[in-house]
Amino acid sequence: MKWNKKDFTGTGKVFSFTLFQQLKSKANLVSFAIMLILIGASVPVMAFFMGDKSQSAEFSTLEKVYLSNETDYEVKPEMIQQEDPSFAQTLFIWDESQFPETLGEREAKVSIAEDATGYRILLSYDVFGEVKEEEMSRLQSAVEKAFFNARYQSLDISEEALSLLSTPFDITVETEGAYTGEGESYDFESRFWVQYVYSILVMIVSLFSSIYIIRIVVEEKSSKLVELLMVSVKPLALIVGKILAVMVYLFGTFISWIGVYLISYGITGLFMDVSGIKNAVLSSDAFSSLTHIDPLLIPVVLISLLLGYLTFSILSGIFGTACSSMDEVEGANTSVTFLVLCVYLITCFLPNFSGEWVFVVSSLCPLLSIFCAPVQYVLGNIGLGLLVLSWLIQIGVIYLLARLCAKIYFDLLMYRGSRLKFRQILTIAKRKGASK
Amino acid sequence: MSLIVSDLWKKYGEKTVVDHLSFSMEKPGVYALLGTNGAGKTTAIRMILGMLAKDGGEVLWNGTPLHLKSCNVGYLAEERGLYPKYPLMDQLLYFASLRDVPREQAKERIRHWAKKLEVEEYLYPSSSSTGIRGKKKEKPKLADQLSKGNQQKIQFMIALLSDPELIVLDEPMSGLDPVNTDLFKKIIREEIDRGKYLIMSSHQMATVEEFCTDITILDRSKAVLQGNLNEIKKSYGRVNLSLKTETDISSYIEQSGVALLSEKEYEYRLKVQNEDQANALLGLLIQNGVTVITFDLSEPSLHEIFVEKVGEGHEME
């Protein structure tokens, strides 16, 4: 069966009608408005709570810290307070006679001890009290640094020498590609975050598109309008118009959500302190991993997303037409969701493996490549040639799926009965003359 | 203009669903495709319209293969429906646009047909008084808010929106009440007068008889009877006799060898072999002083021809 221009006649009309009806749909409008309100409101709400947190972070809720030091090194309270000014108002008590039997709600105890293996620092607090876990982490960090400094000071080291010794340093292991300047180096955490964020993105796009496309296709089929439509448009134009309409609707929705978030961030910044949100985002592992990525690679991500969308949307169209009534939509959705989740879970485990064959196989294997190929390229694990090959394979899969769809779409649209399984769909496709 | 369907056939696996069907329409009018359920009428229509791939044969419109660009077709499918949750006007404009009818022209035609089919109130929401708050505009109707008959009218409108040259109506009157049936008949008659070509498939023989000039009766994928309806009827001869008398004539009927089909209060429906047999019975009645109120000798109805043709095969089964 060859395609020609006639097969796509009317695609634009199907596209505009479907998109227009999606935009007019009351259910869609309500859910869209709710999402916009939630996203818009999330910024001031976050700013309120995070701003409060930063206020509280200025001075710790810890009122008293009992300091027990069994070593020869003198750890002074001001050393701890110097390391973390949030403890400036905290009272440090080292007189063991004043140590209580039990710790109060705003109290903690730090015990520094020495044994045969080395030094031990133990921090105790009431987990049901008012002291938060993160405050204890900060206390731990401050005590650790103060003890470190106390040890050097005991050796009569000058302030300059101490400063020199305590200057932080970072160790990075880079790949041969990065060494030769052909690619960047990414550690496990970066690889994990890049793969994780992109996979989530693909998953959201795939699941949303499948839900919308299956619903639209089944709605049309169950309305018994198909025969009337077939007089005017070919089956391929019908499904392509729908897929494009849902694509524009979904991507438009996502873009408007991002837009509303940014507008809300800007407006909130005029009235409230949004530095808490900014700092939280900037200090997150995901953000620091993603900022390594060259902005020029955005087209790579967009092309890959588009190919992923097309693959899953055509599959959804086929699964949708196998249903005869709206009652069967859930079953079709489950099938596509299961498929997407399976591929997603596999990609979640991939950062644990490294090796050229893993990168190549995950980038070329159909379906898996939707989630993996751009990530492997961004991480420098595969070259541009392999990425293009991956795209070509994906385009091939899309073409085959579209051909399968064109071959069986009419038969499936005219089919009335219980939901067909994929095996039965393939049987229909093999049947002679199953082109219309 | 002419429509020629020649040697059309289709198989699903080993089963033949349309077996070498041929017919033609040389002039405007109504051609009827008749048959029992599963005889292949709808499959034949789908092949004629190019919706379904044919295994063999051809369909020519004005000498060239019929397709959407060569022939403006209006189709009322047997399986009918509308998008339940979309406004009716949007749906009508969508279908008009699919047939390349310009938007403004489509609006004009929708108004024209809405008036004719008496569905204006569903398509053009009017302002209605709602008390102290003044006037409130009604919301446009959705398809699922319409009765089945009114939905059928909207679908009929869709079929007519492109002002088609060839109109294919698959069971157009099924499920309609008598008032709406008359409305549909009136529009079909007008379309015939406007020189349109109509193909009609129906189980309602009286309706088909009212409009059709030519017919094909399909039985299990094969055409068992084809031709001009009047000529077919003539070929059967005048064999239906209706008699009404003032007394019981059962003995005379038996004596003349005429088959009695039914009898109710001296009204008899009889089947004669030919006109001579009927005249002989009439002579016998007059000779014996029987007062004859009605003597009506007619050709068989399409219903009888259909049952006879299709029934033969079914009896053999």
Question: DSSP readout, B44-109?
Answer: HHHHHTTSS--SEEEEEETTEE--TTTS-EEEE-SS----TTSBHHHHHHHHHHHTT--HHHHHHH
CA-based nearest distance B87→chain A, Å = 9
**Per the CB < 8 Å rule, is B90 touching A223?**
no
Q: Is residue A175 part of a domain?
A: no
| B175/B101: higher pLDDT | B101
Least confident span in A164-178, B142-156, B178-192: A164-178
Spell out the long-range contacts of B14-21 with Cβ–Cβ below 8 A and sequence spacing 24 or more: B16/B221, B17/B43, B17/B221, B18/B43, B18/B44, B18/B47, B18/B221, B19/B221, B19/B222, B19/B223, B20/B56, B20/B57, B20/B222, B21/B57, B21/B216, B21/B218, B21/B223
CA-based nearest distance A234→chain B, Å = 8
Count of positions (residues) in chain B: 317
Give just the sign of the alpha carbon dihedral B80, B86, B92, B94.
negative
User: Which among B10, B77, B95 has CB closest to A227?
Assistant: B77
**Per the CB < 8 Å rule, is A227 touching B97?**
no
User: What's the pLDDT score for residue A56?
Assistant: 47
A433 touches chain B (CB under 8 A): yes
What are A342-398's pLDDT values in tens digits? Answer: 998 888 887 677 678 888 888 899 889 998 888 888 777 888 899 999 999 999 999
Least confident span in A159-168, A227-236, A356-365: A159-168
| A417/A198: higher pLDDT | A198
User: What's the pLDDT score for residue B202?
Assistant: 84
My answer on whether B207 and B289 are in the same domain is: no
Of all residues in chain A, the one with the smallest CA distance to B162 is A232
A7 touches chain B (CB under 8 A): no
For all residues of chain A together, what is the average pLDDT? 83
My answer on whether B179 and B262 are in the same domain is: no
Q: Is residue A171 part of a domain?
A: no
- Chain centroid, CA A170 distance in Å: 27
Domain count along chain A: 2
A231 touches chain B (CB under 8 A): yes
| B228/A5: higher pLDDT | B228
Q: Is residue A116 part of a domain?
A: yes
The residue of A220, A227, A410 whose CB has the most chain B CBs within 10 angstroms, and thus the best one to mutate to test that interface, is A227
Least confident span in A65-74, A330-339, A421-430, B221-230: A421-430
My answer on whether B116 and B263 are in the same domain is: no
User: What's the pLDDT score for residue A436?
Assistant: 46
Distance CA B305, CA B212 (A): 15
Beta strands B259-264 and B267-271 are antiparallel
**Per the CB < 8 Å rule, is B95 touching A227?**
no
Distance CA A350, CA A359 (A): 9
Q: Is residue B59 part of a domain?
A: yes
- Element (DSSP H or E) covering residue B278: helix B275-287
My answer on whether A282 and A149 are in the same domain is: no
My answer on whether B57 and B154 are in the same domain is: yes
Query: Average pLDDT in the B279-284 region?
Result: 92
Query: Average pLDDT in the A79-93 region?
Result: 87
My answer on whether A265 and A130 are in the same domain is: no
Domain boundary residue, one of A136, A165, A194: A165
User: What's the pLDDT score for residue A269?
Assistant: 85
**Per the CB < 8 Å rule, is A13 touching B94?**
yes
Of all residues in chain A, the one with the smallest CA distance to B10 is A433
My answer on whether B249 and B209 are in the same domain is: no
Of all residues in chain A, the one with the smallest CA distance to B66 is A231
User: What's the pLDDT score for residue A246?
Assistant: 92
CB within 8 Å of chain B, chain A residues 15-74:
17, 20-21, 24-25
Chain B residues with CB under 8 Å of A233 CB are 98
My answer on whether B212 and B269 are in the same domain is: no
**Per the CB < 8 Å rule, is A435 touching B81?**
no
My answer on whether B202 and B290 are in the same domain is: no
Collapse the DSSP code of B215 into the 3-class scheme (helix H, G, I; strand E, B; otherwise coil) and give the result.
Answer: strand
User: For residue A66, what are the domain limits?
Assistant: 60-165
User: What's the pLDDT score for residue A346?
Assistant: 87
A281 touches chain B (CB under 8 A): no
**Per the CB < 8 Å rule, is A20 touching B155?**
no
My answer on whether A289 and A382 are in the same domain is: yes
| A322/B187: higher pLDDT | B187
Q: Is residue B203 part of a domain?
A: yes
Q: Is residue A255 part of a domain?
A: yes
Chain A residues with CB under 8 Å of B75 CB are 227-228, 231
CB within 8 Å of chain B, chain A residues 85-124:
none
Distance CA A374, CA A353 (A): 17
**Per the CB < 8 Å rule, is A223 touching B82?**
yes
User: For residue B246, what are the domain limits?
Assistant: 238-298
**Per the CB < 8 Å rule, is B52 touching A436?**
yes
**Per the CB < 8 Å rule, is A223 touching B84?**
yes
User: Which among B51, B83, B99 has CB closest to A225?
Assistant: B83
Q: Is residue A178 part of a domain?
A: no
CATH label of the domain that carries residue B267:
3.30.70.1150
User: What's the pLDDT score for residue B316?
Assistant: 44
My answer on whether A106 and A209 are in the same domain is: no
User: What's the pLDDT score for residue B310?
Assistant: 84
My answer on whether A25 and A95 are in the same domain is: no
Q: How confident is the model at residue A271 (pLDDT cuts 50, 70, 90)?
A: confident
Chain B residues with CB under 8 Å of A217 CB are none
Q: How confident is the model at residue A59 (pLDDT cuts 50, 70, 90)?
A: confident
Which tokens in the block code for residue B106?
């489509």
Domain boundary residue, one of B180, B201, B233: B233
Q: How many CB atoms lie within 10 A of CB A298?
A: 10
My answer on whether B219 and B282 are in the same domain is: no
The residue of A9, A23, A24, A232 whose CB has the most chain B CBs within 10 angstroms, and thus the best one to mutate to test that interface, is A232
Chain B residues with CB under 8 Å of A25 CB are 85
DSSP code for B284:
H
The pTM of this model reads 0.74
Domain boundary residue, one of B207, B233, B259: B233
My answer on whether A132 and A229 are in the same domain is: no
Query: Average pLDDT in the B195-214 region?
Result: 89
My answer on whether B242 and B112 are in the same domain is: no
Domain boundary residue, one of A108, A133, A165: A165
What are A292-337's pLDDT values in tens digits? Answer: 666 777 788 889 989 999 999 999 988 888 888 888 888 889 989 9
My answer on whether A71 and A195 are in the same domain is: no
| A380/A126: higher pLDDT | A126
**Chain B residues with CB-CB distance to A under 8 A?**
10, 13, 46, 49, 51-53, 55, 68, 73, 75, 77-86, 90, 94-95, 97-99, 143, 155, 158-159
My answer on whether A280 and A335 are in the same domain is: yes
**Per the CB < 8 Å rule, is B90 touching A433?**
no
Given a cut of 80, whether residue A195 has pLDDT beyond it is: no
Q: Is residue A363 part of a domain?
A: yes
Q: Is residue B316 part of a domain?
A: no
A320 touches chain B (CB under 8 A): no
Chain A residues with CB under 8 Å of B77 CB are 227-228
What are B285-306's pLDDT values in tens digits? Answer: 999 999 999 999 999 888 888 8
Chain B residues with CB under 8 Å of A14 CB are 98
My answer on whether B129 and B244 are in the same domain is: no
* E-strand stretches of A228-302: none
> Chains A and B: how many Cβ contacts under 8 Å?
68
A220 touches chain B (CB under 8 A): yes
Chain B residues with CB under 8 Å of A21 CB are 83, 86, 90
Distance CA A257, CA A253 (A): 6
Distance CA A113, CA A69 (A): 6
**Per the CB < 8 Å rule, is B73 touching A230?**
no
- Chain centroid, CA B37 distance in Å: 15
User: Which among A13, A14, A231 has CB closest to B51?
Assistant: A231
Contact A216, A247 (CB under 8 A): no
Residue for token digits 């769809």?
A405
My answer on whether B13 and B121 are in the same domain is: yes
CATH label of the domain that carries residue B226:
3.40.50.300
User: What's the pLDDT score for residue B304?
Assistant: 87
- CA neighbours within 13 Å on the CB side: how many for A380? 18
DSSP string, A316-345: HHHHHHT--SGGGHHHHHHHHHHHHHHHHH
Domain count along chain B: 2
DSSP code for B146:
S
Q: Is residue B258 part of a domain?
A: yes
What are B24-60's pLDDT values in tens digits? Answer: 999 999 999 998 888 899 899 989 988 888 889 999 9
Distance CA A205, CA A203 (A): 5
My answer on whether B94 and B195 are in the same domain is: yes
Rounded to the nearest 5 degrees, what angle is found at the Cα of A114, between the Cα atoms of A111 and A119?
80
Count of positions (residues) in chain A: 436
My answer on whether A73 and A154 are in the same domain is: yes
Domain boundary residue, one of B218, B233, B248: B233
What separation in angstroms does the CA of A278 have from each of A50, A132, A189, A281, A284? 10, 22, 21, 5, 10
What are B207-265's pLDDT values in tens digits? Answer: 888 888 899 999 989 999 999 998 998 898 899 999 999 999 999 999 989 999 999 98
User: What's the pLDDT score for residue B242?
Assistant: 93
Residue for token digits 């009695």?
B260
Q: Is residue A55 part of a domain?
A: no
My answer on whether A113 and A16 are in the same domain is: no
Nearest to B173 by CA among B131, B203, B210: B203
Sheet with B197-201: strands ordered across: B73-76, B166-170, B197-201, B29-35, B214-219, B222-228
In one-letter notation, the amino acid at residue A358 is V
My answer on whether A44 and A66 are in the same domain is: no
Chain A residues with CB under 8 Å of B95 CB are 228, 232
Contact B100, B190 (CB under 8 A): no
